[in-house]
Structure 1
Amino acid sequence: MGCLIMAAGTFLIAMPHFFMGRYTYERPPVPSANSSINVSPCARDSRNPTVIPTENPHVNLGTGCDKDFGNSMWIYVLLGNLLRGIGEAPIQPLGISYIDDYASEDNTAFYIGCVQTSAVIGPIFGFLLGSLCAKLFVDIGSVNLDSVTITPADAQWVGAWWLGYLIAGGIIVLATIPFWFLPKEQPRVETGKTPSTPSEQSRFILEEQKEATTEQDGVHLLNMAKDFLPSVKDLFGNPVYFLYLCGSVFQYNSLIGMVTYKPKYIEQQYGQTSSKTNFLIGLINIPAVALGIFSGGVIMKRFRINILGAAKLLLGPSLLGYLVLLSLFAMGCKNSSVAGLTVSYQGSAQISYQENEVSECNVGCKCPQTHWDPVCGENGLTYYSACFAGCRVSNGTGKRAEFYNCSCVGAPMSQPGGGGSAVAGPCARGTDCSNMFLYFVVTSVMTSFALSLGGTPGYMLLLRCIKPELKSFALGIYTLVIRVLAGIPAPMYLGALIDTVCLRWSSRSCAGRGACRFYNTDAFRYIYLGMTLALGTVFIFMTAAVVLMVQKRFHPTENKAEDDGCASSALPQNGNLASNLHLLQTTHWAQKETRL
């Protein structure tokens, strides 16, 4: 039922596309393919301006006022995400608890690692599907694509975002089928333990709680409601659980913010298209995360790591991952040279952000300052539009448009009608930026693997530090807190911080600010990586506190003298140290369990 609800929410998110009209975008007047008229982008200053009417329904020349019909479409996205959250909620807490209940203790970590890995494989196909949809125009199937005059590299391009939701919803419907064939009753695996050899979890709980409590498995709904507050008090009174929960909030704030704005960061920092960005993330980054989670489960199973080892395995790779992340501060590209924005029209001096984009070379063009349609001049500078470049002659249509006699592009001002040329689209970043992007990809893969290596040990620590009857409840509280305190606010406040470094906003025809077209890439890098590292640092300190607390509570050798009077001389003289410690731990916990 959860999967069916999640599928319904996924379909609902795609509905705004079918309720709204066709997408419109701004383009300067250009000649059609069968026209012999050359339109001057700077013709607005002439006494007889040439205006070419367009039959393309997608082109908006800035006349009139945009309809606000789409302002209510966010409600469908909100309701769809609510349904997705409701449907997804039972899968993780109940599924993980199901595995822990019916799998042997030696295999639990491995199975949970497999489940977590498979959950990461989904985003791999999601990013690849997103990459494909981003290449397709949003109104594909209902318009003639030959009439579209912009490319995926254009800032105004909108891909077929809705198509991915339809495909994903169909796959979720198919995924519901196997769940209906699960048996109503599943036989539990015998662990082979005797009362004298309690499990690691029970030994840890006995040490922490100082008393043993047993409850019946079959609890009525009324009793569950009555025990809700005591259960919450019991969970948050567990210092290991509480510290791990608080640390996870900071960790997921860091990771969710980083993942949410990673495509935008790559696009703005390295000049990559959204399609290529999604493809690289899905093909390189996400598999590294999946490999890290799977490797954590394998390590837990292969070396039979206990609770203390799980806590250390959570701390060590995370610390290494954030240290590697520090190197990304040095792997950035310089701001693009945009005339009137980051450099002067002469291309040399840095200018303030408040400097007007109008210069002596284009002051007579009276260009619309709300229009953003960048062109690349032959001098290597990017201009707001062909009009701001002072171009008088255009050749070709939208995607292959070329402009000549551009007064702002490297021509002497004294030469009347003279000037350089420009082509549609911003200027390329150069080979240095391409090399930096390669270094970024390699470092990002290493960071993703290191940060995800502690995923499975973290889950095992969470499961083993609480009472068995509270596992599902504890995982549910954990999931709720993470999503409310990390999943919701992280994209909001990080997005607000990123917006503060926007250098060029688009404007709507009626009123109000549109989307950001150009960022200060240096400030973007410092905010994006700085917030990720700051939140990760808090997580590291809290995880270190968890390790110390687990080491103090879990190791019986530290408190054996005050607990049962065992001395160090009680160690057998024969056998290796590991066997002796194991025997000492078994004897100690057997005695304590007998007294309790």
Structure 2
Amino acid sequence: MPDPGTEIKMSSKPTSKSQVGPAPKRLCSNLFLSIKFFVFCHSLLQLAQLMISGYLKSSISTIEKRFGLSSQTSGLLAAFNEVGNTALIVFVSYFGSRVHRPRLIGLGAVLVALAGLLMSLPHFISEPYRYDHVDFDLPQDSASSLCTPSQASALPSASIPAPSNSSCALYSEAPQMVVVGLMFLAQTLLGVGAVPIQPFGISYIDDFAHPTNSPLYLGILFAVTLIGPGMAYGLGGLMLRFYVDIDRMPEGGISLTPKDPRWVGAWWLGFLVSAGAVTLTALPYFFFPREMPKEEKELSFGKKILSSLDDKGENSLINQGAGNSPNKEKDGEAQLAPDLTVLQFIKIFPQVLLRNLRHPIFLLVVLAQVSMCSMVAGMATFLPKFLERQFSVTASFANLLIGTVSIPAAIVGIVTGGVLVQRLHLGPTRCATVGVLGAFTCLLLGLPLFFMGCPTHPIANVYNPSTLPENGEFLNCIQLCSCSKSDFNPVCDTRSHTEYVTPCQAGCTEVQGDPSPGHGSVIYTNCSCLISGIRNSSIISGSCESSCSHLVYPFILLISLGGAVASISHTPAFMLILRGVKNEDKSLAVGIQFMLLRVLAWMPSPVLHGSAIDTACVLWADTCGMQSLCRYYDHDLLRHRFIGLQFFFKLGTLFCFTLVFTILRQQDKEAARSKSHHNSVPQEEKLALKLEKNSGEFKV
């Protein structure tokens, strides 16, 4: 490796044999002086980084149950990594190539890995998970929430006992704040660490790759990194099958199965796996030079691909990528900030921001992308939880469906949009047309989702009390049983399809047999408080199964098709932005675009979706007088508000793209009218009009 003093003086020509040392050193040097190896390393790093940032969304409902969080709080947690990212992303455009980009990428990746370790820390500093909410000096068993009428009759009045002091101490506000604060801090570090990874990696590849190979390398990079979110959901589906305290399993095991609503999977394990993957992929970046010899050879197979796609037209993506050589890009950046200090850059940035926001095409396309990203952010964060609640599927299975169906469908849509722009030579107006058609089709595919579900089954003393004829007698019965308000051990009466929060509320006094841990459902007998009126009957543990479970497959299919169609407009929208701003503003325009997407979409959307989900709650967990997570939702209300919010953002995307299409259509008509007028004027006036046109700004 050359020392820092000689790095900048390196020639772009291949090193001669006389200048090279021993074979192992030459092999190592050549490896880290290869832009192909950098593309390989950067693809793996971005895949691992997206996997660790997407893993939280796959386990968001599990973290809610483990630490008693509302959906609004968990949505804020999911969006908090954008805070550090947004605060620093603009300065990436300023620093450019002034820093040692590979080392800064490596440092950012180390910070991302540290954030992953910090996210798993609450598991190790918290007490073991107690799914039956009994004291720690009592065993966790199926009899912890049975009806005890003999004790109730001995009391002066039929009152519900309060939780013990030792139980309440576990749920005090201070430990809860520490745990939540650690996760928020980890999310902030995750956002800060992710700032230099993608921008510096793309600029490094574009600077030192052959101009013709650069688009191919970037295409490979994006194709590999798109797999990251899918792998995150797949990893979540795998880890949530294990019990949360797999590293400290209680003696005798547990009597829960993954289908039990009290089940909490090993959410923390995925963060350790992802952090290890990020750490391994970050190591090579500390050995790459600040500047490497520019690639001189064009890839043979790349030449064949590019020649088959090249249309020699002004709308070709490949021509645009090859034509924008690093020198031209640097010249464009130099016109904006040749030797500006940080303070000068901060002063000039608002002018560039306002200049771009005054451009109607740029503003409308960014607003369309804001609406689309808001839809994606809410869906990515809370779709697993929605599937769990609406269709009674496990968290593991919900993540598996999203990772294997929805994410690949979105990848296919993005690739299809790029191919359409390339092969059909789409101009600005046609790019807007693709956006309008994609948004309209996505809107139509979302309409059936409002009706794909069924109402919540009856829950005694919680939901739909009008259908429970013996409600007064039922309340008297559970008072005699001395049932605790904080217990949660749902049981189901399969004959009436009615659910009870605990066996105590059903009046059950015995457990049939002694089931082995994790095998089958527990059967409770001698239940005397059943709404059905059948005395001394038996019921089974667990929530009642949804009668709409079979609809999960068509639901996820429609969601995936809508996402794929909406993703087709991703590349056309990006091309509209690149063609709608000045050449010297392109670098900052892209930075402004991503900044606005974070501020207006990725940050508020999860909180907004979480708040909408919370409004559909019909029973909140009450632990020592504190409201924590939601136990039961009104399924119809949950579906209408969650899908309705998605529908609202789809409508906003369609509206913005329609305005873009209208403006571009009007500009085309004016251009055609001007051309016809140009053909009708004398030759002398044509020359004058041509000179005036060349001196003015070229519009979209």
Q: Give the TM-score range, shorter chain.
A: 0.7 to 0.9
Return the match for 2:536 from 414, 419, 441. 419
Distance in 1 (CA, whole Å) between partners of 2:197 and 2:349 is 21
Query: What is the rounded CA distance, in whole Å, between the counterparts of 1:162 and 1:216 in structure 2?
Result: 46
Q: After superposition, what is the alpha-carbon deviation per residue over 1:13-51, rounded to whole angstroms, capped at 9, x for unaligned? A: 22222222322232579xx99x9x9888111444699xx
Structure 1, residues 304-334: CA drift from partner, whole Å, max 9, x if none? 3233322222221122012101110111122
- How far, CA to CA, are the matches of 1:393 and 1:239 in structure 2? 71
Mapped pair 1:566 → 2:676:
no
In 2: Cα distance, 1:412 partner to 1:159 partner: 37
Cα pair distance change 1:306/1:39, threshold 3 Å? closer
Q: TM-score, length-normalised on structure 2?
A: 0.68
Cα–Cα, structure 1 residues 60 and 119, in superposed 2: closer, same or farther, change >3 Å?
A: farther
Query: Bigger shift: 278-287 or 164-173?
Result: 164-173
Match of 1:578 in 2: none
Shift of 1:292: 1.0
Contact 1:124 1:287 (8 Å CA) reproduced: yes
Residue range with higher mean Cα deviation, 438-447 or 5-14: 5-14
Q: Does 1:285 align with 2:406?
A: yes
**What is the Cα-based RMSD across aligned positions, in Å?**
4.1
Q: Which residue of 2 aligns with 1:147?
A: 253
Q: Would the aligned equivalents of 1:113 and 1:296 in 2 still touch at CA under 8 Å?
A: no
CA distance in 2, matches of 1:104, 1:466: 26
Shift of 1:462: 2.0
Check if 1:465 corresponds to 2:580. yes
Matched, 1:66 2:163: no
Identity of aligned residues (%): 28
Q: What secondary structure does 1:135 align onto?
A: coil
> C-alpha offsets along residues 224-283 of structure 1, whole Å, 9 cap, x if unaligned?
455423322322222211222222222222221122111111111111111111111111
Q: Which residue of 1 aligns with 2:639?
A: 525
Deviations 1:157-215 (A, max 9, x none): 222211111111122223335655485464699999xxx99778999xxxxxxxxx977
Query: Which amino acid in structure 1 is aligned with residue 659 of structure 2?
Result: A
Q: Which residue among 499, 515, 520 is the counterpart of 2:629? A: 515
1:289 Cα deviation after fit: 0.9
Q: Alpha-carbon deviation of 1:87?
A: 2.3
Q: Report the equivalent of 1:275.
A: 396
Distance apart, 1:128 and its partner CA: 0.9
> What is the SS of the residue equivalent to 2:370?
helix
CA deviation vs aligned residue, 1:278-299 (integer Å, no higher than 9, x gap): 1111111111111111121222
Provide the rounded CA distance (Å) in 1 between the counterparts of 2:485 and 2:472.
9
CA distance in 1, matches of 2:660, 2:213: 24
- Is the alpha carbon distance of 1:407 and 1:199 closer, same or farther for their aligned partners in structure 2, counting shifts above 3 Å? closer
Q: How many residues align?
A: 542
314-323 vs 403-412, greater mean Cα deviation: 403-412
CA distance in 1 between counterparts of 2:132 and 2:501 reads 13
Q: Distance in 2 between matches of 1:25 and 1:38?
A: 13
Distance in 2 between the 1:28 and 1:75 partners?
26
String of CA shifts for 1:337-375, please: whole Å, max 9, x gaps.
2222234497579xxxxx889534434212112322110
**Structure 2 Cα separation of the partners of residues 185 and 7 of structure 1:** 30
| Counterpart residue number, 1:11 | 117
Kindly indicate whether the alpha-carbon contact (under 8 Å) linking 2:114 and 2:275 is maintained by their aligned counterparts in 1: yes
Contact 1:339 1:382 in 2 (8 A): yes
After TM superposition, the structure 1 stretch with the greater mean CA deviation from structure 2, 67-76 or 164-173, is 67-76
Q: Which residue of 2 aligns with 1:483?
A: 598
**SS of 2:454 mapped into structure 1:** coil
**8 Å Cα contact 1:6-1:88 kept in structure 2:** yes
**CA deviation after TM superposition for structure 1 residue 3, in Å:** 2.4
Aligned CA distance change for structure 1 residues 470 and 590 (closer, same or farther; 3 Å): same
Consecutive unaligned residues in structure 2, runs of 5 or more: 1-103, 155-163, 321-330, 684-688
2:340 is matched with: 221
Partner-residue secondary structure (3-state), 1:423: strand
Residue among 240, 261, 265 paired with 1:159: 265
Partners of 1:214 and 1:496 lie apart in 2 by 44
Q: Give the Å deviation of 1:525.
A: 0.6
| Gap runs ≥5 in structure 1 | 50-58, 204-212, 350-354, 571-587
Residues 134, 144 of structure 2: 8 Å contact kept = no
Residue matched to 2:546: 429
Question: Which residue, 494, 501, 507 being the options, matches 1:390?
Answer: 507
2:231, 2:682 → 1: CA distance?
59
Report the CA distance between 1:556 and its aligned residue. Answer: 7.4
2:373 counterpart residue number:
252
1:569 deviation in Å? 14
C-alpha distance 522-304 of structure 1, shift in aligned 2 (>3 A): same
Report how far residue 107 of structure 1 moved.
8.9
Separation in structure 2 between the aligned mates of residue 171 and residue 43 of structure 1, nearest angstrom: 52
1:375 to 442, 467, 491: 491
Amino acid in the other structure paired with 1:309: R
Distance 1:106 1:299 in 2: 20
1:236 aligns with 2:357: yes
C-alpha displacement at 1:145, in angstroms? 7.3
Counterpart selection for 2:655 from 512, 528, 541: 541
Q: Hey, what does 1:593 align to over in structure 2?
A: 694
User: Following TM superposition, by how much is the alpha carbon of 1:461 offset from its aligned partner in structure 2, in angstroms?
Assistant: 2.0
* CA distance, structure 2, for counterparts of residue 429 and residue 522 of structure 1: 13
Query: Hey, what's the Cα distance between the residues in 1 that align with 2:557 and 2:314?
Result: 45
TM superposition shift of 1:384 = 1.3
| Structure 2 counterpart of 1:131 | 237
The change in CA–CA distance for 1:97 and 1:234 in structure 2 (over 3 A counts) is farther
Tell me, in whole angstroms, the C-alpha distance in 2 between the residues paired with 1:458 and 1:331. 31
Aligned-partner Cα distance in 2 for 1:314–1:450: 10
Contact 2:333 2:587 in 1 (8 A): no
Q: Partner amino acid for 1:533?
A: F
TM-score, length basis structure 1? 0.79
Output the CA distance in 1 between the equivalents of 2:340 and 2:447: 50
For 1:144 and 1:452, locate their aligned partners in 2 and report how far apart those are by CA, in whole Å: 47
How far 1:7 sits from its partner (Å)? 2.2
Post-superposition offset of 1:108: 8.2
CA contact (8 A) 1:110 1:298 kept: no
Q: Secondary structure at the match of 2:247?
A: coil
| Distance 1:65-1:21 versus aligned 2 partners, 3 A rule | closer
Task: Please tell me the residue identity of whatever aligns with 2:558.
Answer: T
- 1:453-502 Cα distance to aligned partner (Å, 9 max, x none): 11222222222222233233222222222112222211212212221221
Measured after TM superposition, the shift of residue 125 of structure 1 is: 0.8
Q: Which moved more, 1:511-520 or 1:94-103?
A: 94-103
Change (3 A) 1:70 1:263: same
SS across alignment from 1:391: coil
Amino acid at match of 1:311: A
Distance 1:485 1:344 in 2: 41
- Select the structure that is richer in helix: 2
